[in-house]
Amino acid sequence: MKTIYTDDHRLHHAACELIGGKMMPAFECPQRADIVLSRVRQVGLGPVIAPTRMGISAAAKVHDPKFVGFLESAWALWDAEHGDGSDALPMTWPARSLRQIEPETIDGKLGFFSFDAGCGLTKTSFTAIASGVEVAMTGVDLMLAGEKAAFSLCRPPGHHATSDQMGGYCYLNNAAIAAQVLTEAGRRVAILDVDYHHGNGTQAIFYHRGDVFFTSLHGHPTQEYPYFLGYDDETGAGEGEGANLNLPLRWGSAWDAYGPALDVACDAIAKFGADMLVVSLGLDTFEQDPISKFKLKSDDYLRMGERIAKLGLPTLFIFEGGYAVEALGVNTANVLVGFES
Ligand code: SP5
Ligand code: ZN
């Protein structure tokens, strides 16, 4: 299968994130995509191509245009206010008792358009974010041209981003944008989210819709980030009732629990009658992931790819999380090689 990739992802390199009571070097870093690209080449997965420079108008199909405009302008506003070269980072959020009104000043806007402090913005972040959308959209074009599979090596990731909030290292929701455009082109799309963290943004974007199926395997929200969504009683609402399936698993889950849950997700995708699959491909389910607590082994990712392939659907893989950088190339390529075997 083809891989879509551009070096532009390196333009997003946040200095730090707030985690475990400390400002730590950001786990979501450029080395992640570099090591995946190098493994994709090493295993001979297929051609690596550059994204088509089509712009990001597709983002406004699932995101509030005001939010996209905020992302584009945030650094300049931040720099004018602070001007010390530090990353733009939110620290105050419109929580339950507070009003939901967009402030005029950048520190207020950053809180208004985010849900955590894991999403720093540098001077060049937006170029990387926009290129990531083009990487996803070029994957969409390949699928619409009849490819059986493609791998959009997006960075930064996207599945936590809601219509109007960044969070969890995510800014624009690459998988949701791709699924929306594929749906508008007449495909019946299912999204399978195998990132360790619940794809809260993708779920929220499609929750009231019956035309896109969303299913996710992830750390149980009673224990794991993003904490406030991802329970198994979230089945969709209105027209979307029945088109959302969450399969939360407890800390410590290994393939013996993960494999059967993946079967349940795949059976539901088949039952929905999907004719196109978008996979939010996070590899942070790995046993050595530094911020996660599942126990998948490198070989399990071959099984994961094989199981997804058994659906027999044209499949667009979109890169999401995974922070055990040394093994990230092998684990990612294992899913794609397993799929093709
Ligand atoms: C795309 C993606 O994978 N985003 C994940 C964002 C996770 N951010 C918060 C992680 C909190 C982890 N807490 C455990 C720390 C262990 N030292
Ligand atoms: Zn994740």
Q: Say how far apart CA 43 and CA 314 lie, in whole Å.
A: 21
Mean of the pLDDT values across residues 119-123? Answer: 97
Residues 338, 306 contacting (CB under 8 angstroms): yes
Residue position matching structure tokens 């046993």:
287
Neighbours of 285 (CB within 10 A): 29
Which ligand places an atom closest to the C-alpha of 284? Answer: 2
What spacing in Å lies between the alpha carbon of 155 and ligand 2's midpoint? 13
Residue of 225, 227, 228, 292 with the most ligand 1 atoms within 8 Å of its CB, for mutation: 225
What spacing in Å lies between the alpha carbon of 19 and ligand 2's midpoint? 14
Average pLDDT, the chain: 98
Is 160 a residue of the active site? yes
- Catalytic, out of 9, 12, 13, 160: 160
- Closest residue by CA, ligand 1 atom 12: 291
Which ligand places an atom closest to the C-alpha of 175? Answer: 1
Atom of ligand 1 nearest to the CA of 170: 1
pLDDT for residue 85: 92
pLDDT for residue 201: 99
What spacing in Å lies between the alpha carbon of 28 and ligand 2's midpoint? 10
What spacing in Å lies between the alpha carbon of 21 and ligand 1's midpoint? 13
- Closest residue by CA, ligand 1 atom 15: 291
Pocket of ligand 1 (CB under 6 A): 19-20, 118, 157, 160, 168-170, 195, 197, 225, 282, 284, 291, 320-321
Residue position matching structure tokens 């800390």:
251
Q: What is the pLDDT of residues 266-318, one digit of tens each?
A: 999 999 999 999 999 999 999 999 999 999 999 999 999 999 999 999 999 99
Percentage of the chain surpassing pLDDT 70? 100
pLDDT for residue 90: 96
**What is the H or E stretch that residue 17 is in?**
strand 16-19
CA angle 144, 130, 41 (to 5 degrees): 65
pLDDT for residue 89: 96
Q: What is the pLDDT of residues 51-65, one digit of tens each?
A: 999 999 999 999 999
Burial of 221 (0-12, 13-18, 19+ CB in 10 A): buried
Paired with 149 in beta bridges are: 315
Q: Say how far apart CA 288 and CA 8 lie, in whole Å.
A: 28
Nearest to 278 by CA among 173, 200, 165: 173
- Closest residue by CA, ligand 1 atom 6: 168
What ranges in the chain are assigned the alpha helix state H? 30-42, 65-81, 106-112, 125-144, 174-184, 200-206, 255-272, 300-309, 325-340
Burial of 36 (0-12, 13-18, 19+ CB in 10 A): buried
pLDDT for residue 313: 99
- What is the three-class DSSP state of 302? helix
Q: What is the pLDDT of residues 74-90, one digit of tens each?
A: 999 999 999 999 999 99
Neighbours of 52 (CB within 10 A): 13
